[in-house]
Amino acid sequence: MDSDQGQIPTASPAPAEEPADDPADHRWECRSCGFVYDPAEGIRKQAIDPGTPFLDLDAARFRCPVCRSPVEAFRDIGPRNRASGFEENLKYGLGVNSLTPGQKNVLIFGGLALAFAFFLSLYSLR
């Protein structure tokens, strides 16, 4: 009798794939004024609930809340947690290029606060 007869064949592990990029999570920027529509926030002034994707907005009625430009003036700038910049440049810059914009803000303003605190500490020396 064959020893492999009672065993269930196992599938080889699939290669690790990046998570699917869902266009419903993408932010959109107005090319006229720079306003960024983030679906996670919505627009309270225009009664657009948080979680409403940009592609689900009524193209005939929606206008930029800042400059009143139509939907055609907006461009897709990707999801919130994506690192900014060109994909081929993300591996350069001592790792700073791969940071998200929020992480870059913490790094920059945290460094400035630390430098300011160091500068103020010099007054304690006599």
What is residue 16's predicted lDDT score, i.e. its pLDDT? 43
Cβ(42)–Cβ(51) below 8 Å? yes
Domain ranges (residues) in the chain: 23-82, 84-126
What is residue 123's predicted lDDT score, i.e. its pLDDT? 87
Mapped onto helix, strand or coil, the DSSP state of residue 75 is strand
Q: Work out the average pLDDT over 17-26.
A: 66
In this predicted model, what pLDDT tens digit does every residue of 53-65 receive, in sequence order? 888 888 888 999 9
Specify the fold of 23-82.
Rubrerythrin, domain 2 (2.20.28)
pTM, to two decimals: 0.53
pLDDT > 90: percent of the chain: 21
**Which strand (E) or helix (H) includes residue 103?**
helix 101-121
Task: State how far the Cα of 94 lies from the Cα of 91, in Å rounded to an integer.
Answer: 8
Task: State how far the Cα of 97 lies from the Cα of 85, in Å rounded to an integer.
Answer: 7
Residue 89 pLDDT greater than 90, yes or no = no
